[in-house]
Structure 1
Amino acid sequence: MQPDHARRPIWVCENGRIIFETFHPQAAQVADFLIAVSEPVSRPQIVHEYQITALSLNAAIANGIDVEQIIKVLRKLSKNVVDENFLEFIREKGKSTGKLRLILRDGRHFLESEDAPLLRHLCSNADVAACLVEELAQESHVVEVDSMKVEKLKLAAHQLTLPLLQEYEFRRDREDTNPQLAAVLRPTVYLRPYQQRALSKMFSVDDVAKSGIVVLPCGAGKTLVGIAACCRVGRRALVLTTTAVAVDQWRRQIQLYTSLPPEDVYTLTAEQKRPIEDADRRACIVISTYSMLGFTGRRGGDTQFILDQLQQLEWGLLVVDEVQVMPARTFRTVATMIKSHCCLGLTATLVREDDLIQDLHWLIGPKLYEANWQQLQDEGYLARVRCIEVWCDMSTEFFTEYLQAADSPDVPGSMRATLQRALWTCNPHKLKTCEYLIRFHEQRGDKIIVFSDNIFILKDFARRLGRYYICGSVDMRERMQILSEFQESSACNTIFLSKVGDNAIDLPVANVIVQISSHYGSRRQEAQRLGRILRPKPQTSNSSRGKFNAYFYSVVSRDTQELYHANRRQQFLVEQGYNYQ
């Protein structure tokens, strides 16, 4: 222990775990430092936990933070004497991080470094050498990479703990290959302080854009951050998102926030296919979905022509919305099939139930910025949500069937879990509770979203209550009509959504969620659904500053496996400081 340990805010463990007392007088400045050099593990109200990892150090050094500066600040803030072995680990990471760059120039990829011995060491690896167009010349600082093998090169460098930086000097790019984009933010657009901080991490050096990931809560304005980045880079931009509804929302937000002419905003979906006119000389923003670019089957002639355009052009910026879905095997090739100088990933939930989330650090880049959910709530940028888990007893008949299904010889083994899930979802007591909550909040004048992954219950329950529903079988036109009526009409106060509404749907008027069926223990889905009501709410007679103005109900069947899944689903939000009652 340091003699003045009581005045110091953190404890640094031998394994890089950091315990942070948030009641320290300089807590805000300490938190900014910790989020820059480490990964947040848990951030409730009083004590936060962070973890310094190789990836977090890569991100810190890429953002221009010197290794010795990190060590100096850790020693200054720590209550205990920081372990020397851990400090040596930090120094070792600093020797190679930030010194290797992957550059796109005239449609060709190059690997370069000012440290010729380090570049030679990397290229001596067999997996790396297989990705090169030619052998690295002696004492050379640059070598060409096969553009079809960029993903393999990134993975090989990551496995050697020699991460590659992707940076873009956008002011120096040539007009003939990447023309200037005539887009600036409108004078009335205001960037919130945390949005400005996120952008400052991406553009920490003037006229240089860094590839990486920005993590902001749902409803905190990730779309505006992406649009502002497109305007700052000022070159062709390609935006990828998850659904056609999200594509339309991006299009409308670009037209709302920027001066870009509508004819320079292109959308590529199953229903909208407009080729880029005069593609070689036109600066534009194209918005599409992962599935449109990642689909490997046969395509129509119009679609294939547009995709060929996208792959042939150079893009100044690739914006990857809901970036947590990109590591999926069907989508990950999208990041390398597009020739982009820089890539910005946006997400609220940098979590997956598999181990693929770590792949984003080499597919996209390091985490540039992550906001604190509770801090944004306290500052009024997010709604104050009350999270409630409602336990419902199973009816006698349903509970009997549930218990018998576990080992019934009449039910195939592969179907037992499915049958049990259907029984706890269709529990009559649960559905009655849901109906009560809907009617109670409708009488208050609230706007309610009911989530159900079970499509049968979704449709049947919505029809019985006379409410609209949206699922995969509802076409795009009808979806937009339902969402518009929910937003604007007092006659439509409740809608039922399947998992198609989990993300990338903007419904700022919604302030109540009732969840009756979910995808097992998915932490990401829980956070995304909460995010549908996180937009800041106007003050009403039912709310005042410091009081709850949004409600998230998770209705579960007692004494079933659903309780176990519900507990796991809540872990991410609990780590962000939310409490379930």
Structure 2
Amino acid sequence: MTSGPLIVQSDKTALLEVDHPQAADARHDLAIFAELERAPEHIHTYRITRLGLWNARAAGHDSDFVLGILDKYAKFAIPGSVRSDITETMSRYGRLVIQRSPDGELELFSKDRAILLEASRHRKIVELLDGPISNEAFRIQPWARGQVKQELLKLGWPAEDFAGYSEGTPHEISMQQGDWKVRDYQNQAVEKFWAGGSGVVVLPCGAGKTIVGAAAMAVAKTNTLILVTNTVSARQWKTELMRRTTLTEDEIGEYSGSLKEIKPVTIATYQILTTKRKSEYAHLALLNANDWGLIVYDEVHLLPAPIFKMTADLQARRRLGLTATLVREDGKEGDVFSLIGPKRFDAPWKEIEAQGYIAPAACFEVRIDLPEEERLNYAIASQEDRYRISATSGSKIPVIKALLAKHPGEPTLIIGQYLDQIHAVSAALKVSEITGETPIDERERLFEAFRTGEITCLVVSKVANFSIDLPEASVAIQISGSYGSRQEEAQRLGRLLRPKADGRSANFYTLIARDTIDQDFAQNRQRFLAEQGYSYEIIDADAL
């Protein structure tokens, strides 16, 4: 018996003793291939999944590496069934290969004929193939490269794609050098992405994912399509590209609800691509408009489901996904893996914090008692209404005021889910608000006023969750959210992680109605950040 912090069980769960001196190192290493499922105070539960193991395999780790980590931290011997399952699961990655035949056609290839026949006779794959070429290969329909990868992943035989990519129309792009330089981990991310051809780079909010995108473009030197979450994000990308690269304003187009420009580098919103007219995707032609050699998916964890179908048709283009977390609340992590590409690079949040590139942050859960009348309303409400009642309680407003008094003058974001709650808080505090109803120009004006210090507090809806650069924000007060969304929790903390000019830490407060579904959802929301090494201190609202 050893003294490690980890107990690995035969159901492929791993229990981590949080207070153990090796716990932080173990958490860091487990994140490479396991997902945190539960994170109460003392014992965290991880699950070792097939997709996690295949992502690790695609990133260059083998089963000896994974088993070595488990052996290093295990309190008891790893069950034999788990050892063999990890070895067998990781060996399945890449046994089938998508490649080009000598005459340039797509083929599904394997040296293991039994695996090839199993895959080729599967009812959903057979219609994507066009007959055998040899004992080791089947021809793939020219349009079916993405769908084949999707179906093979579901079948349990994830394919490696060596079929190559269209170079696109050449376009000169170089990085500008000045009083800054591309950081080591950003260079590593680009190198790992380029070596793999396509895939996802996972970096904390504030760690410079845009720079990774720009550096990848400088390697590709080709027409590039960048897909982003909203128009504000599109304009931030354009500003950053003009600042960091040799691209000029004339070379960068915006394709959104406001503008329809197609230029060598075009930045489009997910929303415009998913807009339908007469049941047809009206702007789908954009994807083939300019012979793109590279497509960048910003916030790939938010990629709308309809775009996965479009992405399946773009397999001949290099694809770079950028995200702070691969967690998807719709469970489509497998589609990201097969259609955008596997995880190529992942830098833990605390590791980047230790290097000084993101700000340290303290997380607090502030628990509030519902007033008697609200408690009675909650008790008799339907399950659908209970979260709104508990999350939007008016008793949160005095707590917000107390927190603002605790951090006077600090740039503070108050973040909520419900418009009526946002309006009420904005009115009570006499603070400007930004929601989806706020015109783009007004949003940009308020964000800029916040950046310059003209205003120090904003009440914002989920429109500020993603891709909004507010570097000096150091306090966030989360008053309600999208139920138990782990990705949203990560993004909201991420609004605070840009390093501060004076080196101060960030403070992230979540206001929770005690003994309600609000508290249950909060525990689920916190899982991803717990995996990254953040812990929540619980505070009673009366103690503020």
TM-score by length of 1: 0.79
Matches of 2:92 and 2:534 in 1, distance apart?
Answer: 39
**Alignment match, 2:150:** 155
Matched-pair contact (CA < 8 Å) for 2:254–2:262: no
Name the CA shift for 1:238/1:161 in 2 (closer, same or farther; >3 Å).
Answer: same
CA deviation string 1:150-177 (max 9, x = no partner):
443223211221112235756xx56xxx
Distance (Å, rounded) in 1 between the aligned partners of 2:98 and 2:199:
13
* Closer/same/farther in 2, CA of residues 511 and 338 from structure 1, 3 Å limit: same
- Work out the CA distance in 2 between the residues paired with 1:515 and 1:373: 20
Match of 1:124 in 2: 121
How far does residue 362 in structure 1 lie from its aligned partner after superposition?
2.3
Matched, 1:461 2:425: yes
Measured in 1, the distance between the counterparts of 2:525 and 2:222 equals 40
Structure 1: how far apart are the matches of 2:5 and 2:522?
A: 34
Deviations 1:21-61 (A, max 9, x none): 98569x97x88875555556689999987654332332343
Question: Which deviates more from structure 2 when the two are superposed, residues 358-367 or residues 509-518?
Answer: 358-367
Task: Indicate the residue corresponding to 2:358 in structure 1.
Answer: 382
Seen in structure 2, the aligned counterparts of structure 1 residues 90 and 52 have a Cα distance that, compared at 3 Å, is same
SS at match of 1:137: strand
Match of 1:400 among 367, 373, 394: 373
Q: Aligned runs of 1:72-221 on 2, under 5 Å?
A: 82-93=78-89, 95-102=91-98, 110-113=106-109, 115=111, 117=113, 118-132=115-129, 134-139=130-135, 141=137, 143-147=139-143, 149-167=144-162, 178-188=168-178, 189-203=180-194, 208-221=195-208
Q: Does 1:535 align with 2:498?
A: yes
* Pair 1:299–1:448, CA change in 2 (3 A): farther
From 254, 267, 271, the equivalent of 1:267 is 254
User: Contact 2:31–2:531 at 8 Å: present in 1 too?
Assistant: no
CA distance in 2, matches of 1:390, 1:466: 23
SS of residue in 2 equivalent to 1:482: helix
Question: For residues 401 and 105 of structure 2, what CA distance do their matches in structure 1 show?
Answer: 58
- The Cα of 1:451 is off from its aligned counterpart by 1.0
- Measured against aligned partners, the alpha-carbon deviations of 1:303-338 in whole angstroms (never above 9, x if no partner) come to 95x642423554332222211223x53342232243
Q: Distance in 1 between matches of 2:260 and 2:447?
A: 23
Aligned equivalent of 1:225:
212
What secondary structure sits across from 2:306 in the alignment? coil
1:531 shift after superposition: 0.9
The answer (yes or no) to whether the contact 2:100–2:107 under 8 Å persists in 1 is: no
Moved more, 161-170 or 368-377: 161-170
283, 288, 291: which one aligns with 1:311: 288
Name the residue aligned to 2:542.
none
Distance 1:512 1:71, change over 3 A: closer
Q: Is the 8 A contact 2:471 2:498 kept in 1?
A: yes
Matching residue's letter, 2:49 = T
Shift, 1:14, TM fit: 4.4
Q: 1:99 to 1:481 in 2, by over 3 A?
A: same
Instruction: Flag the 1:19–1:388 CA change in 2: closer, same or farther, 3 A.
Output: closer
Shift of 1:527: 1.8
Alignment of 1:307-456 (within 5 A): 307-311=284-288, 313-326=290-303, 328-395=304-371, 399-404=372-377, 406-407=379-380, 417-418=384-385, 420-421=386-387, 423-441=389-407, 443=408, 445-456=409-420
The residue identity in structure 1 corresponding to 2:122 is N
Taking the aligned partners of 2:490 and 2:449, their CA distance within structure 1 comes to: 25
For 2:170, the aligned partner's letter is Q
1:508 maps to 2:495: no
Work out the CA distance in 1 between the residues paired with 2:89 and 2:139: 24
Shift of 1:357: 3.2
CA distance in 2, matches of 1:320, 1:248: 15
SS state of the match for residue 135, structure 1? Answer: strand
Residue identity over aligned pairs, in percent, reads 29
For residues 60 and 54 of structure 1, the distance between their equivalents in structure 2, rounded to whole angstroms, comes to: 10
Residue 441 of structure 2: aligned partner: 477
Please point out which of 450, 453, 459 is paired with 1:496. Answer: 459
Shift of 1:270: 0.4
In 2 relative to 1, CA 435–79 (structure 1 residues): closer, same or farther, beyond 3 Å? Answer: closer
1:367-418 CA deviation, whole Å, 9 max, x = no partner? 22322222322332221222222233334xxx3254146437xxxx5xx743
Per-residue deviation, 1:299:
9.9
3-state SS of paired residue (1:230): helix
SS at match of 1:263: helix
* 1:561 corresponds to 2:525: no
Helix, strand or coil: the match of 1:136? strand
Change (3 A) 1:128 1:474: same
Give the structure 1 partner of residue 541 of structure 2: none
Q: In structure 2, what is the Cα distance between the partners aligned to 1:504 and 1:360?
A: 19
Is the CA contact (8 Å cut-off) linking 2:392 and 2:418 kept in structure 1? no
In the superposition, relative to structure 1, how do residues 483 and 348 fare at CA in structure 2: closer, same or farther (>3 Å)? same
Computing the radius of gyration from Cα coordinates, the structure with the larger value is 1
Q: Structure 2: which 5+ runs fail to align?
A: 538-544
2:272 aligned to which of 274, 288, 292: 292
Residue pair 2:38, 2:524 contacting (<8 A) in 1 also? no
RMSD between aligned residues? 3.7
Q: What SS does structure 1 have at the residue aligned with 2:293?
A: strand
CA drift of 1:182 comes to 0.9
Letter aligned with residue 481 of structure 2: S
Change (3 A) 1:366 1:130: same
Are the aligned partners of 1:56 and 1:366 in contact in 2 as well (CA < 8 Å)?
no
Aligned length: 531
Residues 509 and 144 from structure 1, CA distance in 2 versus in 1: closer, same or farther, beyond 3 angstroms? Answer: same
For structure 1, list consecutive stretches of 5 or more residues without a partner in the other structure. Answer: 277-283, 544-548
Calculate the TM-score normalised by the size of structure 2: 0.84
Which residue identity does 1:137 align to in structure 2? I
Structure 2 distance, partners of 1:20, 1:405, is: 36
User: CA–CA distance in 2 between the matches of 1:241 and 1:503?
Assistant: 10
Residues of 2 paired with 1:452 and 1:56: CA distance? 32
| Structure 2 letter corresponding to 1:350 | L
> 1:532 Cα deviation (Å)?
0.5
- Could you tell me whether the CA contact under 8 Å between 1:44 and 1:576 is conserved in 2? no
Structure 2: how far apart are the matches of 1:66 and 1:429?
A: 52
**8 Å contact kept, 1:59–1:366:** yes
One-letter amino acid of the counterpart of residue 315, structure 1:
W
Give the Cα separation in 2 of the matches to 1:32 and 1:389.
24
